[in-house]
Structure 1
């Protein structure tokens, strides 16, 4: 495993102890593995989550490694072709910026006016960056990208009602994702 998720079930106490010994050796650079049944190498990670459950047939172990922010930033910029956030690109900064811009868009639409082109362009650019970021709701990204495309098309055609409808869809998807991942 190098980033991503992995799980094991039906582990004995001895297997679990070997796993944790190997894991404790990893930061020290020790490569000898006493438990070959585990394919565990967290690689270069930012966050490592370990879930352990005692079950009737032993233990179940779930591991999730998240890659460093710098790597995710590079992925996001490569996929979107933008480089203006280089160096200070942070997921939380992106979320705050998107929240502010989305609020401006929603307020304009609630007042029956189209939002400004600059705020829409910036919001959609940030949306592309956000959906390129791994491990923060990947399963919602495709539907969100489609809703962003529909919003852009409605905005470009100056269709206020379609903008309102697609904005509501963006809001619904955002709420579902945030309810699950916050």
Structure 2
């Protein structure tokens, strides 16, 4: 007996790369996660300020680390997914010689700042935590501008983060080991709409 499937074939990585290069000339950035294209708008000024803020705070407490902006990562070892987080915290030189899509192994934390678009819920709050946990990235920091809150995902295990803590802007947020930094998020209120 033949089994019929209704699944559509996933896009090939080379097809995605061609589309992504064309999109970079527009006002969107594309990502390829689990065989699907994700689209996010080009970051605005407040988005950039939030990344600067995270980078500065991490460097103040951990000068041995660097927040690499938009570093491509192979986030899903089993299905060929690729993502460009807003920031990837790793030791200096961690991505030397790796090319466009780096191994996530040296990444201690990824940072995402939500965009004001319709896909941010699915992309940043549902798909990326799974992809980053599957990749074994110890900490996923989500700065959620819609909610005015910061969510710290940690303790990746079996494709999910065991610990998830969300606090509103203005609270102190602990980035657990291997980061070991506490962030006072009061300044994030300046970048809220």
Fold shared by both chains (TM-score > 0.5): no
Flag the structure with more relative contact order, 1 or 2, with Cα contacts below 8 A and sequence separation at least 6. Answer: 1
**Structure number having the greater strand percentage:** 2
**Highest Rg: 1 or 2?**
1
Quick check: which one's helix share is greater? 1
Q: What range is the shorter-chain TM-score in?
A: under 0.3
